């Protein structure tokens, strides 16, 4: 039976308009991402925006579309903007149909000259990478290609090997606290402004800490926020993991996630995880747990952080820590923990670091002494971070002492202790200076 996929020119135009429409919801400019897509338009590389579902990847493309049409006077008909979750494309399952759609678009809608091609949430189209590769190899000067997707398979397997050196990638995160405040119509305007509005900023910080920064969740009350987070997670679970990897035990898969994010401030012992989530199934093994955690990483729901031994300067992939992409996931799904506030704080600090750094580890020696985050920088510089909810006489010596231990082996680089509140200060332990930063200053900068 032949596949008769076909859209009329009116259907194609409707698809393009609906895909590019920003809609009535509130949006803010996110310069980090919008400036990136603008700059990348100057080259012929395939541009890839990746990230967890609902972090705003599509919005960035739509804002770029608006910039092209309204500020650059680029013809709308020469922008092939397709959201692959549109109901118009229910019968579009593979690259063959995608090629038919594109050929129809070129014949019936597009004009002469350069084409911008925006492929939004393309990962579920079977063989899509062959279509993209063909376009790129046919005429990379005419076709300016952008792709978004919710899992890291976008640059894997055949696509990655065929286009090695021909694609660039940008990770899109949930709102930073700065972006969160801008969304709330509270753009930070310096130290004097902050001191004047400190109570309001701190109230928003507490909400951000607990409920996270997924753009569409910011205005929701606590109960609705939890329901929204559950719906997003279930979409990830079903579409990005269960269907894609053909998972046979969804209940176990979900339990592994809940266990991991209930222990974000502790290294995960895989044998302990097996005991905790064992549902009486003989199939629950360490390899199964590792496989499931890798699936969550590929969907950008969690990130793993390896152990760094500051004495030997070796990196170990055993006893990794796992952090959630957004604090809302922890507040919604973490179970049986008495350390929720501490976990939320450490998770938030990690995600702030992950916006800027790539080589993030946690430090631990053979005696179990630990530094929450070690960020390796060029030229042997190494920033060290501790996270502590509240600094007091009981924990001051312990928190500062770990910095002194590390600095004997890693003397270059700043030592920073992030606390939930308090005032900024500089503390001294031995020969080591430690900068104490309240969370709000860590998130907003100096």
Question: 149-188, pLDDT tens digit by residue?
Answer: 876 566 554 566 656 778 898 999 999 999 999 999 998 8
Same domain, 89 and 37: yes
- Give the mean pLDDT of the chain: 92
The total domain count for the chain is 2
CATH number for the domain harbouring residue 162: 3.40.50.300
Domain hosting 154: range is: 9-172
Q: Identify the domain boundary among 144, 172, 200.
A: 172
Same domain, 100 and 213: no
Same domain, 144 and 48: yes
Q: Tell me if 183 is assigned to some domain.
A: no
How does pLDDT run across 62-77, given as a tens digit for each residue? 999 999 999 999 999 9
Same domain, 88 and 212: no
Q: Tell me if 1 is assigned to some domain.
A: no
Q: Tell me if 329 is assigned to some domain.
A: yes
Rounded to two decimals, the pTM is 0.94
Same domain, 356 and 219: yes
How does pLDDT run across 256-313, given as a tens digit for each residue? 999 999 999 999 999 999 999 987 666 789 999 999 999 999 999 999 999 999 988 8
Question: Residue 1 has what pLDDT?
Answer: 42
Question: Residue 139 has what pLDDT?
Answer: 92
Question: Residue 282 has what pLDDT?
Answer: 65
How does pLDDT run across 409-443, given as a tens digit for each residue? 988 899 999 999 999 999 998 889 999 999 999 99
Q: Tell me if 179 is assigned to some domain.
A: no
Enter the tokens of residue 267: 């290294």
């Amino acid at each position: 039976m032949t596949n008769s996929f076909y859209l009329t020119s009116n259907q194609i135009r409707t698809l393009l308009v609906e895909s590019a429409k920003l809609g009535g919801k509130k949006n803010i400019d996110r310069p980090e991402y919008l400036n990136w897509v603008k700059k990348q338009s100057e080259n012929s590389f395939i541009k890839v925006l990746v990230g967890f579902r609902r972090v705003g990847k599509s919005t960035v493309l739509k804002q770029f579309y608006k910039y092209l049409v309204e500020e650059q006077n680029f013809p709308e008909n020469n922008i092939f903007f397709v959201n692959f979750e549109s109901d118009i494309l229910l019968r579009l399952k593979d690259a063959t149909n995608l090629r038919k759609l594109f050929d129809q678009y070129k014949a019936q809608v597009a004009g002469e000259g350069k084409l911008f091609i925006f492929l939004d949430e393309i990962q579920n189209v079977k063989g899509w990478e062959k279509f993209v590769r063909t376009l790129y190899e046919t005429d990379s000067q005419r076709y300016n290609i952008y792709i978004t997707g919710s899992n890291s398979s976008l640059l894997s397997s055949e696509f990655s090997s065929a286009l090695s050196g021909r694609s660039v990638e940008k990770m899109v995160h949930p709102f930073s606290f700065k972006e969160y405040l801008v969304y709330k119509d509270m753009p930070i305007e310096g130290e004097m402004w902050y001191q004047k509005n400190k109570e309001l900023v701190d109230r928003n910080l507490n909400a951000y800490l607990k409920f996270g920064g997924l753009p569409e969740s910011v205005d929701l009350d606590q109960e609705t926020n939890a329901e929204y987070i559950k719906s997003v997670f279930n979409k990830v679970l079903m579409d990005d993991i269960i269907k894609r990897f053909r998972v046979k035990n969804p209940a176990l898969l979900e339990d592994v996630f809940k266990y991991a994010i209930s222990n974000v401030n502790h290294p995960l012992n895989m044998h302990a995880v097996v005991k905790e989530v064992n549902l009486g199934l003989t199939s629950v093994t360490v390899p199964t747990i590792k496989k499931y955690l890798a699936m969550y990483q590929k969907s950008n729901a969690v990130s793993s952080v390896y152990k760094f031994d500051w004495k030997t300067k070796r990196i170990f992939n055993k006893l990794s820590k796992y952090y959630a992409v957004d604090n809302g996931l922890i507040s919604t799904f973490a179970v049986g923990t008495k350390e929720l506030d501490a976990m939320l704080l450490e998770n938030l600090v990690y995600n702030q670091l992950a916006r800027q750094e790539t080589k993030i580890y946690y430090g631990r020696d053979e005696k179990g002494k630990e530094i929450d985050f070690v960020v390796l920088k060029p030229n042997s510089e190494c920033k060290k971070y501790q996270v502590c909810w509240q600094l007091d006489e009981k924990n001051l010596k312990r928190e500062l002492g770990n910095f002194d231990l590390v600095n004997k082996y890693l003397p270059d680089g700043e030592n920073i202790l992030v606390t939930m509140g308090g005032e900024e200060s500089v503390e001294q332990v031995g020969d080591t200076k430690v900068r104490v930063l309240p969370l709000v200053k860590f998130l907003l900068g100096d």
